[in-house]
């Protein structure tokens, strides 16, 4: 019995620690253009998380005015340190987290989708989000 309990305790950190994704860069150039990006967080155990960071950088001497950051979709979360205006070379981060803590069905798997929209003065970036919860 002790070996069974010890075996269970040794596997818990593998399930409960957050998985960290890599940083991705969105570079803004002088002329705004709309962009759509797909981001799949893969399969994540319920009540654990997978995070990644998008870095936004203003390029070519044109300031980037960030007007709004909107998120939709169950089990997705966003945090940002972006100011209203990024000057040349200035960088900020938008951290996305898929944290399946709410299931909408009784099945063992759940596929979640969402959208993150970053609106600039002259363009927008749409990130289509997806992930599967176990």
Q: What is the pLDDT of residue 32?
A: 64
Instruction: Count Cα neighbours of 21 within 13 Å in the Cβ-side half-sphere.
Output: 22
pLDDT in tens, 10-48: 333 333 333 445 666 666 554 467 889 899 999 988 888
- For the chain, first and last CA: distance in Å? 27
Q: What is the pLDDT of residue 97?
A: 92
Q: What is the pLDDT of residue 116?
A: 95
Which residues lie closer than 8 Å to 71 by C-beta, 6 or more apart? 77, 78, 114, 115, 116, 117
- CB-CB contact of 119 with 68 (8 Å): yes
Cα distance between residue 76 and residue 54, in whole Å: 15
Write out the DSSP string of 79-106: EE---SEEPTT-EEEEEEEE-----SSS
- Please give the model's pTM, rounded to 2 decimal places: 0.75
Tell whether the model's pLDDT for residue 129 goes beyond 90.
yes
Q: What is the pLDDT of residue 13?
A: 35
pLDDT in tens, 77-117: 999 999 999 888 888 889 999 998 866 666 678 899 999 99
Mean pLDDT, residues 66-83: 94
pLDDT band (50, 70, 90) for residue 119: very high
**Domains (range + CATH), the chain:** 18-133 (2.60.40.10)
**Separation in Å, CA 12 to CA 1, 7, 15, 48, 51:** 17, 9, 5, 11, 19
How many residues does the structure list for the chain? 134
3-state secondary structure of 23: strand
Listed residue (78, 106, 82, 84) closest to 93, CA to CA: 82
Instruction: Count Cα neighbours of 39 within 13 Å in the Cβ-side half-sphere.
Output: 27
């Amino acid at each position: 019995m002790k070996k069974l309990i010890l075996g269970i305790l040794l596997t818990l950190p593998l399930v409960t620690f957050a998985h960290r994704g890599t940083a991705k860069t969105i570079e803004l150039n002088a002329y705004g253009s709309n962009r759509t990006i797909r981001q799949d967080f893969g399969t994540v155990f319920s009540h654990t998380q997978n995070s990644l960071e998008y870095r936004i950088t203003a390029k070519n001497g044109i300031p980037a005015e960030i007007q709004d950051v909107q998120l939709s979709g169950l089990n997705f979360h966003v945090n940002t340190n972006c100011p209203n205006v990024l000057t040349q070379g200035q960088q900020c981060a938008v951290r996305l987290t898929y944290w399946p803590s709410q299931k909408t069905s009784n099945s063992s798997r759940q596929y979640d989708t969402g959208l993150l929209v970053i609106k600039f003065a002259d363009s927008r970036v749409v990130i289509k989000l997806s992930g599967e919860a176990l």
